[in-house]
Structure 1
């Protein structure tokens, strides 16, 4: 379900879970003698790009982070990006029905529009409603995902309050490879995808990767019966169709000199409920195109120039009347010039960006330009690691905004590291919050965040432990209210305005242990995302949520079981409408046949738990998905 005005609601108190709960999780998980990763490549130290916009070994990254590898995505058997993210530490989701309907992703209690989403380094999302349109991003096109928690505005500008999720599509390397898969499941779910990738050899290496996919589902009713006279309930099935393509092409012109292009395109046609008697639907089109040049100017100076354009278009058809049709289009043109200067073991980064947002929507149009300059310094000295960064974003709409961060890490031993950091961030008001007739207020200011964090990391190659405590204070929080105190006569149906303060506070724990063919991994988030003005818990965010998974892999067989659990949440800012807690058990397995063929399957919600992520909106019951894959190794 898509609406031209997204009203973010105020929020509510919460009490931190007793410290012994956290201790129990850490001790029981960390000391468990079963492993958490079966694949040999996962034992290696992965390289992350997102935390500082430069490649870093995971062991040197000071920001709290999670990486989802290509193998983990394939073995998960998931068909939806949002469902995959729901299993990750520090993340909660809210959906308005099954796959294909509108969804929100909360990072450490931050709202969907307080997080930045990148695809191959290019920002995507809507400038009117705010945040990414998650259902339009095809999981089948994704190679791997990096999730970095905490304020990153000093690297990425506006909206990086809760963190950054960066999606990477496939990149060609080595001999040509062909991959394909097809699957079928409950609710008439059908998927097909194929890709080819590789690269030539020699001084002028040409790399290529291109993929295409189709998926569809008959679905289930997005809504449940609702006693309200304004209920949108319709007992029909709400399915979807999604077609997507992506590609990367690069050529090395000379040693250290590369140019290339990346693209992703997706079209989603999804049904939703808007009351009986009409087949309401949303058509979402996402297009992302970028050209880049990477140049080794001198041995110690690397330059990357990137020009990109993204288009996020949503057409909403909710009735056969003219007022039941609306269109929202956000076009973003981004220009980025990044310079990485090696100073011995250290890196000095200088960044210049220009972002032009253009909005065309039913009842609303406009544009804004933001020019940015940033600098950061990454230091390595024996057991000491440090990062400092500063950025100024100058917007034609709200003027200058300066953000910064400082992080320090100390290696207590080869396996243990302690971290501390402080950073500021901000979120720019959306066009709806500023200009939508009868709702937006043009004088709304950016939200501002100040985050302090402590962390402890352990990794001996077999056991991993990550514990982070954070406290993020948000001021000038923009809320939506049905009764506007600014000017009730001018805003009879409510407005968006700066009034509140919020605190996003919590402890996030992730742990795993490896041993032979078995693997155990677990995470728990104990949080208190509250509206300081009212003392109430922020809507659709629980005080605690956790995952536990046990995997087995031997020879051709891989199998696993996972538990996803969450405490109760509230659907409203006054904390009157309770969304009950839930625990869902999922099973998944794959079997490698001879050659390059493999079978895979997933059984979600084994015990058919009936729960809600938004009041009177349905979630999937017990459902099965099976498929065959060719070429994945």
Structure 2
């Protein structure tokens, strides 16, 4: 269940509230001795925001949000008790966008408090507070485009600085080239630290350096993109099977740091319009590698593809998506192979009037059987339908 309400207080000034409630009850065969595993997850989130245009060139948005996640797996459908882990996150953000002629300056300040409230296996009650400050500046001079950004996160891991810089050149005629470099930082989630049988408390933050080169052609009928990327990660957080950390006698999967990893590859994408028919396609080739062993990173495919077609006929929209993925390995040693797969998704939307529309979607329409992790079959054919209402 999801909802959003906004109120226009005055021209350029809006207040609103947004909420989400999701309840998942899933049953599956784990293949590890328990063939009636039940997964339960309750996710709730709510936010309040105030958006103000104080000056013609200054847009300010303040948002206060809370999210709660209760997640657990049980050996049978009748199991009861607390979830295996409950987490809560509160966040206050203030974002400002200032236009300076054709340039744009963005400033951000955020305060985030994360908490582990409960665990089925041991007493927790940990908290983590992160204060963040960020700035980004984008400008264009003739055919040259520049952007630069910087961010600092202050938490239990100290003050961590990241940033990025990019340059683009417009050749004219719809052709543009770009290049960018940047750094990243990601603290392990509380699930990756404390989830029973999965989290490892000694996990370290993930740090990265990335570079990207791109070429884009965009005309009224055709869009083409070619991108080369290289991400080098230190202490990359992955799911390892079996878990290298055996201190708790665990034998299954866990979140774990890969000392050094590289993700390098090429993405090609394109799209065109033929009358009322829109066609799009993307192809990805990458080499996700553990530099310490020279092996491919577990559960990461080297090839991906996506093809889609959307057709509009009056108030009716019809679409199809074909998602393809190459083989991957379930383990870091690359001994347990997981086959590739292809999924067909279909959808339709009927716009009844300006405010109401009916929608329906079928995922995995061919009911393809496949695995993203050994002995954990992914969902088969699924469908949903809904009624969307929005006041213009």
Shared fold, TM over 0.5? yes
C-alpha displacement at 1:435, in angstroms? 5.4
1:400 and 2:159 aligned: yes
Task: Give per-residue Cα distances to partners, 1:454-491, cap 9 Å, x unaligned.
Answer: 11122212111122111000012345575657xx6x44
| 1:472 and 2:228 correspond | no
Q: Deviations over 1:111-150 (max 9, x none)?
A: xxxxxxxxxxxxxxxxxxxxxxxxxxxxxxxxxxxxxxxx
Output the CA distance in 1 between the equivalents of 2:388 and 2:142: 46
Pair 1:314-2:71 in alignment: yes
Q: 1:322 to 1:568 in 2, by over 3 A?
A: closer
Cα offset for 1:499?
4.9
- 1:389 deviates by 0.6
Query: Which of residues 36, 54, 77 is equivalent to 1:297?
Result: 54
Q: Which residue of 2 aligns with 1:388?
A: 148
Distance 1:370 1:576 in 2: 40
Q: Quick one: which of 200, 210, 219 aligns to 1:451?
A: 210
Q: Distance in 1 between matches of 2:35 and 2:129?
A: 40
Distance 2:157 2:370 in 1: 41
Q: How does 1:521-600 map to 2 (within 5 A)?
A: 521-555=280-314, 559-586=318-345
Structure with the largest fraction of strand: 2
Q: Does 1:264 align with 2:29?
A: no
Measured at CA, do residues 619 and 337 of structure 1 come closer, stay the same or move farther in structure 2, by a change above 3 Å?
closer
- Describe the SS at the equivalent of 1:412: strand
Q: Hey, what does 2:97 align to over in structure 1?
A: 340
Give the TM-score taking structure 1 as reference length: 0.54
Shift of 1:535: 1.2
How many equivalent residue pairs?
A: 384
Q: Structure 1 residues 282 and 619 mapped into 2: Cα distance closer, same or farther (>3 Å)?
A: closer
Alignment check: 8 A CA contact 1:398 1:445 kept:
no
5+ residue gaps, structure 2: none
Which one of 496, 500, 509 corresponds to residue 268 of structure 2? 509
Q: CA RMSD in A?
A: 3.5
Q: CA separation in 1, counterparts of 2:18 and 2:71?
A: 23
2:377 matches 1:377 = no
* Deviation, structure 1 residue 449: 0.6
User: Partner residue of 1:135?
Assistant: none
Q: CA deviation at 1:352?
A: 1.2
Question: Per the alignment, in what secondary structure is the counterpart of residue 306 of structure 1?
Answer: strand
Distance in 1, Cα, partners of 2:49 & 2:388: 32
Give the alignment's TM-score, normalised by structure 2. Answer: 0.84
- Whether contact under 8 Å (1:393, 1:400) holds in the other structure is yes
One of 29, 37, 55 as aligned partner of 1:273: 29
What is the CA-CA distance between 1:440 and the residue it aligns to? Answer: 5.9
Instruction: Indicate the SS of the match to 1:365.
Output: coil
Task: Report the alpha carbon displacement of residue 388 of structure 1 after superposing the two structures with TM.
Answer: 0.5
Deviation of residue 295 (structure 1)?
2.3
Query: What SS does the aligned partner of 1:613 have?
Result: strand
SS in 2 for 1:448: strand
Note closer, same or farther for the CA distance 1:459–1:426 as it changes in structure 2 (3 Å cut): same
Aligned positions of 1:70-469 closer than 5 A: 244-252=1-9, 254-273=10-29, 280-319=37-76, 326-362=83-119, 363=122, 364-395=124-155, 397-434=156-193, 444-469=203-228
Per-residue Cα deviation, 1:214-236 (whole angstroms, up to 9, x for no partner): xxxxxxxxxxxxxxxxxxxxxxx
Query: In structure 2, the residue corresponding to 1:409 is in which secondary structure?
Result: strand
Counterpart secondary structure, 2:376: coil
Deviations 1:311-357 (A, max 9, x none): 11224332489898643221111111122222221122222111100
Q: 2: distance between equivalents of 1:287 and 1:626?
A: 21
- Tell me, yes or no, if the aligned pair for 2:29 and 2:376 is still in contact at 8 Å: no
The change in CA–CA distance for 1:520 and 1:478 in structure 2 (over 3 A counts) is closer
Q: Which has the higher contact order (CA 8 A, sep 6+)?
A: 1
| Structure (1 or 2) with the greater helix fraction | 1
Q: Deviation at 1:247? A: 2.1
Q: Name stretches of at least 5 consecutive residues in structure 1 with no aligned partner.
A: 1-243
